[in-house]
Every structure is written in structure tokens, then in C-alpha cells.
């Protein structure tokens, strides 16, 4: 059976984050692999940290105002209500990855204003 790469890519583009997360978990279980990034040597990690240009905003806790946090996540990501709620319920979870420092700080401020605990990595 030949794979239709274009169709697979098109299907992935239309998938939600939660669906993609389920796909990754299923692949990990089926093939006994992990999607975790390999850990670099300690010496190489120090120089990479000094030159970091892309950041990840991670929601660590929704806090007391869960509904406000869900709304803030929806505004920031463009996700639907169900997907945004799934991200907030699944905290800690990455909200946005590989964004500039300015965008990461703005997103962090918006989520913290809604009552969430956020970490920029």
C-alpha cells in the first residue's frame, strides 16, 4: 500500500491539537517510540540557552478563573471552545511554541491577567 503523503499532510492541517496529541500517543504506543526531543550535552545546552530566539508559552495552572483562561487561550490560539478547554484542563500544556520573546511575553501577560499561571521556556 502506497502512502498518499499529500492527503496525510492535508488531514493533519485540518486536525485539532487534541486530535494530533491523540495521534502522537497512539503512534508512541503502537511502535514503542517517544516524541520527546533528545537531551543535548550540558556544555552545548549552555550556549544554546544564551542564543534562544524562539520561546514556548506553557500554561501551568488555570487558577480560580478557569472560564477567563479558556477565553484567553481561545483568543490567543484561534482554537474552538472544546479544544481550548481541553488544553486548560490538561495543564501543564504548551499554548504556543516557537514564538518570539515579545509575543511570548504578551501572551504570558494576557493569560496571567485572566488568572492563569504561565511559564515561558
Q: Do residues 72 and 31 share a domain? A: no
Q: What is the CA radius of gyration of the chain?
A: 17
N residues, the chain: 121
Number of domains, the chain: 2
Q: Do residues 102 and 65 share a domain? A: yes
Q: Give the 3-state secondary structure of residue 48.
A: helix
Q: Is residue 5 part of a domain?
A: yes
The predicted model scores a pTM of 0.53
Q: Containing domain of residue 100, as a range?
A: 55-120
Q: Do residues 69 and 99 share a domain? A: yes
pLDDT in tens, 36-81: 666 555 555 555 556 677 888 888 888 788 888 888 888 888 888 8
The CATH number for 101's domain is 3.30.1390.10
Q: Is residue 47 part of a domain?
A: no
Q: Do residues 60 and 114 share a domain? A: yes
Q: Is residue 96 part of a domain?
A: yes
Amino acid at each position: 500500500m502506497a502512502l498518499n503523503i499529500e492527503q496525510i499532510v492535508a488531514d493533519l492541517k485540518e486536525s485539532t491539537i487534541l486530535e494530533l496529541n491523540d495521534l502522537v500517543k497512539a503512534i508512541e504506543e503502537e511502535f514503542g517510540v517517544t516524541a520527546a526531543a533528545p537531551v543535548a550535552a550540558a556544555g552545548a545546552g549552555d550556549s544554546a540557552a544564551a542564543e534562544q530566539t524562539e520561546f514556548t508559552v506553557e500554561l501551568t495552572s488555570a487558577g480560580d478563573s478557569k472560564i477567563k483562561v479558556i477565553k484567553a487561550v481561545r483568543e490567543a490560539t484561534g482554537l474552538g471552545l472544546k479544544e481550548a478547554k481541553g488544553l486548560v484542563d490538561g495543564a501543564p500544556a504548551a499554548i504556543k511554541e516557537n514564538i518570539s520573546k515579545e509575543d511570548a511575553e504578551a501572551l504570558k501577560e494576557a493569560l496571567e491577567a485572566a488568572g492563569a499561571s504561565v511559564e515561558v521556556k
